[in-house]
Amino acid sequence: MKKFFKKYFGWLIESNRPKHLIAGFVIGGFLGFVPVIVAALTAEFKDWAWNGSKGYPIFGWKAKYGFDWLDVLATLIGGAIICSISCFSPDFRFLTGVF
């Protein structure tokens, strides 16, 4: 069982993806799933545009890297978890902004 999770979900513990999961969970909990999509894509666009540098304009579209789809996917998974909980449970409906 441990090998299964390591093989298929090991990418979730690499880099800063646990932070992406938590951010998607929080944004999805308070605002819904569409803002999770927007937040994930804009954060990765920032990484792509600035190439992950700390304020120095090394443009990612020239170096052709900086955008990571796995970070976007981790954020979307975090948002999908809380939004699916709120869809199937009326107790959590207040978390997604659907009153």
- Looking at residue 63, its pLDDT comes to 54
- Looking at residue 47, its pLDDT comes to 77
CA atoms within 13 A on the CB side of 66: 21
Q: Name, of 2-6, 19-23, 64-68, 95-99, the range with top average pLDDT.
A: 19-23
Binning pLDDT at 50, 70 and 90, where does residue 38 land? Answer: very high
Q: How far, in Å, CA of 78 to CA of 24, rounded?
A: 5
- Looking at residue 97, its pLDDT comes to 54
